Amino acid sequence: MIDSTSRTLREVLMVKRVRYGVIILLSFLALSLIVVFFSPFQYDQISYNVHYPPLSPSSVNWPYIMGTDNLGRDVFTRTFYAYILDTGCGLAIVSLSGLIGLIIGLISGYLGGLVDLVLMRIMDIVISIPGFMLAIAIAAVLGSSIVNAVISVVIVTVPIYARLVRGMVLSVKESLFVLAAKEAGLSTVRIIVKHVLPQVTPIFITQLTMELSNAIIYIAALSFIGLGAQEPVPEWGLMISTARRYVREAWWPAVLPGLIMFLTVLSFNLIGDGLRDYLDPRKKLSVRETS
């Protein structure tokens, strides 16, 4: 079991894109840990009086590798604190909405009938409103905070998983071995756990990875328009939103966190995309010989 898992892992890492994604992921994680434990600055350490105008990123300004912002805070420290916060929020979003979506999808797909009809109608309605707009509306009602932003994104993204899982359950349900398991008198829960879940898992995990980058973008965008993190919390969207006001004087407090955010999103897209290709049986090289 462990052996086959590690072999699968090794095979997945053979896909170049996945490898690059994992490299970015691991190095950013390492940088964040270094920043948290060894940075000489606090993320909210203001030195406005010492450093104005903002210091630019250059060797002269060591140890401000990425310079300072308008309040003299260290951009590097803030950016990598934000890495933990934003990817953390992203993970929280996909795991929560993934879990809720998984449960709804399993129930809906497996039970069918009226339960399925009602649940799926609700999902349809949520999906018929553009996601970001709905997230804004919910977050506005809940009030501006990073937790509320996470909750609103969770609500908006649940239908994606619910529909995906339901669709897969429906196709698995008709398959022979589930019918056989039913004949053998296995309980519904047992059938779901032992036979349906293993079939659904790989595609589901790929979808989660792909959605992780969307979740990060959502959180940053909500914070950008003032509905997520509030000062002095280090969050990419908020940092860009504040820094864009003086971007003509200093570009780095807006662009550098954005660049790290871009690379983070890219890393998850690379991993998700590579995983999908790896799992897609049609992509595999084969002999097209039918005679």
Partner 1 sequence: MKPLEVRNLTIQYLTYRGWVDVVSNVDLDIDDKTEILAVAGESGCGKTTLGLAIAGLLPSNARITSGYIKIYGKNTESSRVAVIFQDALTSLNPILTIGEQIAEIYVHHFSMTRSEALEEARRKLSEVGLPDSYVNKYPHELSGGERQRALIAMAIALKPELIVADEPTTALDVTTQAKVLKMLRSIVKNQSIPMVYITHDLALVAHVADRVAIMYAGQVVEYRDKYSLFNKPLHPYTRALLDSLPRVDVEVRELRAIKGEPPLPGVFAKGCRFNPRCPQVFDKCLVEEPGLRAVDNGLVRCHLYA
Partner 2 sequence: MARNILQYVFYRLLQSILSVFGAVVIVFILSRVLPGNPAAAILGPKATPENIARVTREWGLDKSYLEQFIVYFSRLIRGDLGDSYIMGYNVSRLIAERLPASLELVVFAFALSLVIGVTLGALAARKHDTKLDLALTSLSVMGFSFPTLLLGVILLILFGVNLGLPVGGRLDARFTVKTYTGLMLIDTLLNGNINAFIDAFMRIIPPALTLAIPLSGLLVKLTRNSVLEVMNQDYVRTAKMKKLPEKVIMYKHVMRNALIPIVTIAGLYFAVLVTGDVVVETIFAWPGLGRLVWEAVTLRDYMVIQGSVLLVSIIYITVNLIVDTLYVYIDPRIRG
Identify whether the C-beta of residue 72 lies closer than 8 Å to the C-beta of residue 106. Answer: no
Q: Is 69 in a helix, a strand, or coil?
A: coil
289 binds, among partner 2, partner 1, none (CB under 5 to 8 A by kind): partner 1
DSSP state of 158: H
203 binds, among partner 2, partner 1, none (CB under 5 to 8 A by kind): none
DSSP state of 286: -
One-letter amino acid for residue 137 of the chain = A
Binding-site string for partner 2 from residue 219 to residue 258, where x marks contact by CB under 8 A and - marks none: -xx--xxxx--------xx--x---x--xx--x--xx--x
Burial code (b: 16+ CB inside 10 Å, e: under 16) for 97-130 equals bbebbbebbbbbbbeeeeebeebbeebeebbeee
User: CB of 19: closest distance to partner 1 in angstroms?
Assistant: 21
User: CB of 284: closest distance to partner 1 in angstroms?
Assistant: 9
Longest alpha-carbon distance in the chain: 80
One-letter amino acid for residue 28 of the chain = F
DSSP state of 55: P
Residue 70 or 213: which CB sits closer to partner 2? 213
Q: Is 56 in a helix, a strand, or coil?
A: coil
The interface with partner 1 within residues 249-288 (CB under 8 A) comprises 285-288
Which of 5, 128, 286, 291 is the binder for partner 2 (CB under 8 A)? 128
291 binds, among partner 1, partner 2, none (CB under 5 to 8 A by kind): partner 1
Site residues (vs partner 1, CB under 8 A): 285-291
Site residues (vs partner 2, CB under 8 A): 17, 121, 124-126, 128-134, 136-138, 140-141, 143, 213, 217, 220-221, 224-227, 236-237, 240, 244, 247-248, 251, 254-255, 258-259, 261-262, 265-266, 269-270, 273
